[in-house]
Chains A and B, each alone.
Chain A
């Protein structure tokens, strides 16, 4: 029987980004204008014309293909989107690969643009119409069981998972701090990063608590910017300007009872204090034909520090419950650790463009052009989410 797989059939040929700024500082540019600038940069990186693009593979909110096509004169053969929110980040590139392998498009862009000016994700579930809650989702029947407690932002909700992880496994705030500090160390070597000053353990523990056990430095940044990634067939990729970065696997989804996760809190005890990634991790490793020991660099979605630790467990880099010890032992540090993580500075310290900076960094690592280059990196893992279904991933190789 022929195996149905996208493994090795497509490659990322171009990546581009706008400058990243503090939230609101990208005004008066329009959010879609930022998206177009990122795409034009990605086309230039690949040596393509924007008119070579014929597909869009997206996730989360904020992008209008029809407007974009009209602005740039792009004839569209495929436009698709993963459902859900930030969990689809890495998976949007898998969707691009799926469109290409199935013959629906030849040159597919995955783009995220974000401008958190008048609005903030930090109050996503606050009641609409209240000051500070302009970005809120409308009230939902399920939300009625959560929101009255005052849980109104993703960080507060993930704090509940982090507290459970500490209770079950003895994970410490020092472990969360190691994620924040190692990521900051990577960021301060990069001119694109918003956070440029060193973070010490003392400064971490002096920071104000936001939602126990999380303090200010456990939270990602709120900022503006856009990132675009262009995918083509492996064959056509070899004619582009840059060395192709091949897509070995991508998976998105999650267990049924992971479901709405932090906006529901009904996940089974077995994986309540997890990242929700275990099913998609297994799918991606199977598709790629590799295991965790083969991964040279991991770009893990880091909206909140404990969720990096839980992903390290769910992707098999550390046994379940030992992610805290894994980071405390220095394993995720660049360049000395066994598995450098978020060498670009992540959502925590470079910029939060809902996970797309992680894809860009993985591509640069596998081209060998990263600022914090992992020596000899051949395989990179990229993740999107922890979030409600879908969470997603991407395994790339040079």
Chain B
């Protein structure tokens, strides 16, 4: 895939609280944890609700359509391993209907100069290795 850093620099570290998210991404599905007590989404997934301190969540499917909240174009390799991937766009994408949950991922399939805050995007999937997939975005 173009516009993403090389797979071998990506390290995922799932915990019991984040594993359902990563299991879903491996199946190219987006799920977000919502508090069963007060209904607030929490993202990234955390062991406690930031509003009511409850622990239990239900995992809600999301269609992965969102808008670019902010972004940067990475043009300098802070480690040599990413040099061949430059330039690439890292964006914060806000997901509607979630109380402001934001996903971070690359925007692919676009010239970096064309990316703007407020652009509508749709989720796509970067298969990093067997059983590990991270979200990326395309303009829609």
Q: How far in angstroms is the closest Cβ of chain A from B63?
A: 19
Knowing A122-B78, A150-B5, A150-B82, the reply to whether A141 touches B104 (Cβ < 8 A) is no
Closest CB in chain B relative to A258 CB, distance in Å: 12
Q: A160-B90, A209-B73 are in contact. Are A149 and B106 (CB under 8 A)?
A: yes
- The contact of B14 among A123, A144, A146, A147, by CB within 8 Å, is A144
Contact of B11 among A127, A210, A257 (CB under 8 A): A127
Name the interface size band of chain B.
35 or more
Given A148-B12, A269-B100, A123-B71 contact (CB < 8 Å): no
What separation, in Å, do the CA atoms of A139 and B14 have in the docked complex?
10
Contact assessment for A141 and B75 in the assembled complex, using a CB-CB cutoff below 8 Å? no
Contact with B along A17-31 (1 / 0, CB 8 A): 000000000000000
* Neighbour of A266 across the interface among B11, B22, B43, B73, CB < 8 A: B43
In chain B, positions 88-106 with a C-beta closer than 8 Å to chain A are 88, 90-92, 100-106
Q: Which residue from chain A places its CB closest to the CB of B103 in the assembled complex?
A: A145
How many residue pairs at the A-B interface have CB separations less than 8 Å?
135
| CB contact list, A140-178 vs B, under 8 A | 140-153, 156, 159-161, 163-164, 167
0 or 1 for each of A116-140: is its CB under 8 Å from B? (1 = yes): 0000101100110011110000011
Is the pair A160, B70 in contact by a Cβ cutoff of 8 Å? yes
**B59 located at the interface, meaning its Cβ lies under 8 Å from any Cβ of chain A in the complex:** no
Q: Mark B71-85, 1 if CB is under 8 A from A, else 0.
A: 111111011111001
Contacts of A131 in B (CB 8 A): 79-81
Bound-state Cα–Cα, A206 to B22, Å: 42
Asked whether any CB of chain B lies closer than 8 Å to the CB of A294, the reply is no
- List A contacts of B112 (CB < 8 A): 212
Instruction: Give residues 33-78 of B contacting A (CB, 8 Å).
Output: 43-44, 50, 69-76, 78
CB within 8 Å of B: which residues of A? 120, 122-123, 126-127, 130-133, 139-153, 156, 159-161, 163-164, 167, 208-214, 256-257, 264-266, 268-269, 272-273
Chain B residues close to A by CB (< 8 Å): 4-5, 9-15, 17-18, 22, 43-44, 50, 69-76, 78-82, 85, 88, 90-92, 100-106, 112, 117-118, 126, 128, 134
